[in-house]
Amino acid sequence: MHQVEASARSGSKSAQLRAHLIGLIEGGLKPHDKMPTERDLAEQFGVTRLTVRRALDQLDHEGRVYRTQGAGTFVSEPRIAKSVELTSFSDDMRARGLKPGSLATKVAEIAAGAEIGAQLGISPRDRVTHIHRVRTADNEPMCIEHTYIPSHLAPGLAGLEVEGSLYDLLADRFHLRVSKAEQSIHATVLDPDLARQLDVAEFSPAFRVTRVAYDSRNRRMEYAESLYRADRYSYDFVIYRSSKDDRS
């Protein structure tokens, strides 16, 4: 049976509607302009208000629009916009208007060992594929990256050419799609050796980021440690007040 009709495919109706709304926002509307009402959008697109609300909810949480009960939905100022999103280094750099690249990629299959095994929830003797890269933005070093993938999830990965987005490659070749990740960010200073690799002065500030990524079946599929130059990198995002309080 064919997967999808021809027309405006993109998956769900709310996803299509979302795409259309983004068009509106980036097309004719200016910040603080009023968007059509939910009821109008529902009628106009022949969907329910709930469906409209789903699309708007997402845009709201992404910081692209804001809503006020009784008043309407409005376009946000660009400013920071975008909440924390899970993207690959490549996508991240492109979103910042920089050209992503890699230096000195090394790939090897090794035993996980105690720490990485613990992070990935596997035995220290299990095999993992270790990928070491110096990532560049506009051809300047941006970040030193160590990535570990359980080999049983991506057999033969060590033999492949790892170029560009690892996440794309894992999705294409092994049907491994990242769905969420736990990330931990520390501030640190670079010792002389690492500073040299990143082409900055000794003891420059840097971000040390560790990440455990999960696939769509909630299996840990990646452990990564990255060091970002602080002079070129920052975290910018929107956060929301959940509701009241439920610390229990």
Partner DNA sequence: TTCACTAATTGGGCTACACCAATTTGGCTT
Partner DNA sequence: AAGCCAAATTGGTGTAGCCCAATTAGTGAA
Q: Where do contacts with a second copy occur on this chain (CB under 8 A)?
A: 10-11, 15, 18-19, 22-23, 26, 58, 62-63, 66, 68, 74, 79-80, 84-86, 91, 94-95, 177-189, 203-207, 212, 214, 216-218, 228, 230, 234-248
Q: How many CB atoms lie within 10 A of CB 172?
A: 10
37 binds DNA (CB under 7 A): yes
Angle at 86 between CA 91 and CA 168, to 5 degrees: 50
- Which two three-digit tokens encode residue 230? 């602080």
Encode 99-127: b = buried (16+ Cβ within 10 Å), e = exposed: ebbbeeeebeeeebeeebbebbebeeebb
DSSP 158: G
- Which two three-digit tokens encode residue 112? 């996980």
Fill in the per-residue mask, 99 to 138: x = in contact with DNA (CB under 7 A), - = not in contact.
----------------------------------------
List, in sequence order, every residue forming a beta bridge with 229; answer none if it has no partner. 206
Q: Which one of DNA, a second copy, none is in contact with 49 (Cβ closer than 5 to 8 A by kind)?
A: DNA
Q: Which one of DNA, a second copy, none is in contact with 10 (Cβ closer than 5 to 8 A by kind)?
A: a second copy
Quick one: 92 or 158, whose CB is closer to a second copy?
Answer: 92
Binding site for DNA (CB under 7 A): 12-15, 35, 37-39, 46-51, 53-54, 56, 67-73, 216-217
